[in-house]
Amino acid sequence: MDETIIIGMSGGVDSAVAAAELIDKGYTVEGIFMKNWDESDSEFCTATEDHRDALQVCDILRIPLRTIDLSDEYWKKVFQLFLDECRSGRTPNPDILCNKEIKFRAFLDHALELGAVSIATGHYAHIDKTKGLFQLYRGADPGKDQSYFLCALNQDQLSKSIFPIGNWKKAKVRKKAYELGFKNHDKKDSTGICFIGERNYQQFLKRFLPIQSGQIITDEGKVIGEHDGLMYYTYGQRQGLGIGGGYGKKNAPWYVTDKDLDQNTLIVGQGHDHPNLYHRFLTTSQAHWISGSEPIKEVLTAKIRYRTKDAVCRLIEKNKNSLIVEFDEPQFAITPGQSIVFYDKEVCLGGAVIETRGHSIN
């Protein structure tokens, strides 16, 4: 094929095998390695190692590898917003914004300027065109499906994107990488904040946000501890609260049930079944539909975070960018700042940012 596809080479096994798959299909393939974080941050940044792995793959595949520095775009369009959300006591999901603004905007624009017809990544998702619309489908491997993180993409972005391994299982990807001689065939999957990687969340945030300690109280108002700052905790959190025994009426772990931003207090309750951990309603902002228009169906399924199972829900109110969503069953730890992503069976319809949660509409 006389079509150039530029693939984002992260240094991981998924993008490596995705590149190999494109070559097998006859495309002219070039690689780009994106630098999106200050490499002087040697304590956390793995860019040098990742670039070495990407270069080894490209050498085997005999394709060029360029490097582009998008760290300024990442800081302005993703990380500063991430910090603003954390500063306000919310729990943001920067990976969704990173895909929207960096991988499928800044990287896409750069690739098109270089003459590519499309970009490719190693995401576990699938794109199909139906009745003139590009639809985003879940990846074939349910344990690796990444459609949740792609919910903010639009028709133009999908029309110029390819996910070569979207219908592969992870085991097949690793087997293929081994057969091709890629050193990263058994490399650990990356987790953590997009482009920044794995690290102690609280220690990392403390480098950018000052500690604002306050009281930890029970839902009955009893003071039982002290927190370092509401931004370091999330709804439903159990670990890392520093609450010893002897405070509760039963032998059950403590969970974060709420935050009082005005009083700077962290509210906790005992037991995974605590009623303040479960809500049937939520409101949103920044609603985005991949098709460009709201879904006709009112009964859908949705995820309120990446690792949760789909839950049946209804869009009981739709006002431009805001929604009111009702679930058939109360959901555990609905978290402001996180994204709710909607599905119609295997099709990802879009998503929105969670603003509030409640036991009723009012």
Tell me the two tokens of residue 17: 């095998």
Kind of pairing, strands 118-120 and 4-8?
A: parallel
Q: What is the CATH number of the domain that holds 235?
A: 2.30.30.280
pLDDT at 158: 98
The H or E element spanning position 256 is strand 254-260
- Tell me, what's the pLDDT at 47? 77
Query: What local confidence, expressed as pLDDT, does residue 198 receive?
Result: 57
- Report d(CA 241, CA 101) in Å as an integer: 34
What's the pLDDT score for residue 41? 55
CA dist list (Å): 305 to 69, 97, 99, 302, 334: 30, 14, 16, 9, 8
pLDDT of residue 245: 62
Cross-strand bridge partners of residue 348: 136, 343
CA distance 353 to 284: 5
Q: What is the pLDDT of residue 202?
A: 76
251 in the same domain as 172: no
pLDDT at 207: 86
One DSSP character per residue, 284-318 reads EEEEEETTSS--S-SEEEEESSTTSPPEEEEEEEE
Say if 220 falls within a structural domain: yes
The pLDDT assigned to 26 comes to 95
Nearest C-alpha neighbor of 156 from the set 118, 110, 113, 115 = 118
Question: Which helix (H) or strand (E) segment is 284 a member of?
Answer: strand 278-289
**From CA 341, how far away is CA 351, in angstroms rounded?**
4
Q: Which residues are catalytic?
A: 98, 194
Residues 26 and 83 in one domain: yes
Q: Give the range of the structural domain holding residue 259, as residue numbers without chain letter.
A: 210-272
Q: Where does a domain end: 231, 247, 272?
A: 272
Number of domains in the chain: 3
According to the model, what pLDDT value does residue 320 have? Answer: 77
Low-confidence ranges of the chain (pLDDT < 50): 42
140 and 50 within one domain: yes
Q: What is the DSSP letter of 174?
A: H
Q: Is the same domain home to 306 and 166?
A: no
Whether residue 331 is found in the same domain as residue 256: no
